[in-house]
Amino acid sequence: MADTVLVVEDEGDVVDLLRYNPHQGGFSPCSLPADGLTGLEMARKSRPDVIVLDLMLPEMDGYSCLQRASKDPRTPSALPILMLTARGEPSERVHGLEIGADDYVTKPFSPRELVFRVQALLRRSRSQAPAKCWKSDDFQLG
C-alpha cells in the first residue's frame, strides 16, 4: 500500500505542483485542504503517513496546527511533519523545528527536493525510535 501525504496549503500554484509531484514519488493521492482547521481534522480522520504543512494558513496557522497535531491523541504518534513556507528566516526555521516539525522547506522550492525530503521522513519514521528533543536554549553559542 502506498504512503499517504496530507498537504495543507492555500496557494493555488503550490497546490497544483504538490498535486502532481507526490504521485511521481510513489505516494498515494494526497488530500489538499486549504486551511489549518480542515488540515488538522483531516489528519485526525485519515491518519496520513506524513504531513506537508504551510505556515501562513487561514483559520489556524501552521505553527498552531503543528502543536495541536503533535499533542492530539487522534493523530498518529510520531507523525512526520514538514513545514513548507515562504518564511525562511533562521529564527522561523528554528521555531518550527523546536515546536516539533521534522523538516522545513522554504518557498520557492524544488518539487523534486520536496519529494525526496518526504521520502526521507518516511524512512526515518519507520526505522528509528524518537530522538531526544532539544531546545534552542540547550545550546551555548560563542
| 134 has a pLDDT exceeding 60 | no
String of DSSP letters for 80-96: -EEEEES---HHHHHHH
Residue 137's pLDDT is: 54
Q: What pLDDT is recorded for position 26? A: 66
Contacts of 7 (CB under 8 A, 6+ apart): 15, 18, 22, 30, 31, 32, 51, 52
Average pLDDT of the residues in 4-31: 75
- The C-alpha atoms of residue 105 and residue 126 are separated, in whole angstroms, by 21
Mean pLDDT of the chain: 82
Q: Is residue 136's pLDDT more than 90?
A: no
Most confident of 53-57, 128-132, 134-138: 53-57
**Non-local CB neighbours of 76 within 8 Å, separated by 6+ positions:** 47, 48
For residue 106, pLDDT over 80 is answered with yes
pLDDT tens by residue, 60-103 = 999 999 999 888 888 877 789 999 989 889 999 999 999 999 99
pLDDT the model gives residue 111: 84
Name which residue leads in pLDDT, 13 or 103. 103
Please give the pLDDT value at position 21. 65
Give all domains of the chain, ordered by start, each with its CATH number.
5-46+70-125 (3.40.50.2300)
pLDDT over 50 (residue 141): no
